[in-house]
Amino acid sequence: MKSTSVILIFLLFIMAGCNRCPQQNDLTVDEEQIENMLEKYMIAVENEDYLSIEKMWDTGDSTMMLGTDSHERLMGWQKIQQAYRKQFSLISETFVSVQDQYIRVNCTGNTAWFSQRMNYNFIYDSIAHSFEGIRFTGVIVKNKDNEWKMVQGHISVPAHVNIGK
């Protein structure tokens, strides 16, 4: 019984010494920076502004974007850039509206994740198109220069399936 008590006390001391997040930052500023970045990103998409889009992405090979088709797994900034160039060559007059944006930052303030719903309107082949409820999620990290950069993105289109109705 005495050895069990000693072990329990020892474990309590170890657990008390373990802090899941040794550095607690004021994350409000980071969340505002990311919200601002995502707004600039949508404006850059609307304006087909490659340079601004590139400044928001990490340009490394491990950067990833998952598109709406099951085969769209773009690895590295070059592939993502090519996809945007192709998209911008096919569509025009893009307008994106964002709703239900959710941004979270980890406790050390170096990694964030987000989700948002978008209505995506554009002209393709001289015909106006509109997609509602497109979901855009991603991961953003703070680089060595203390700048937020997107490292992973995923765009999905909601399925309008009438299961059980």
Tens of pLDDT, residue by residue over 42-76, are 999 999 998 999 999 998 888 999 988 778 899 99
Alpha-carbon separation of residue 118 from 29, 46, 53, 94, 95 (angstroms):
24, 13, 17, 12, 10
Token pair 């490292």 is found at 151
User: CA-based Rg of the chain, rounded to a whole angstrom?
Assistant: 21
pLDDT of residue 148: 97
Tens of pLDDT, residue by residue over 139-157, are 999 999 999 999 999 999 8
pLDDT of residue 28: 87
Place 3 in a pLDDT band, splitting at 50, 70 and 90: low
C-alpha to C-alpha distance for 105 and 146, rounded to whole angstroms: 14
Tens of pLDDT, residue by residue over 75-102, are 999 999 999 999 999 999 999 999 999 9
Q: Which domains does the chain have, with CATH numbers?
A: 23-156 (3.10.450.50)
Residue pair 96/120 in contact (Cβ under 8 Å)? The answer is yes
**Worst-scoring range by mean pLDDT, 9-13, 27-31, 59-63, 159-163?**
9-13
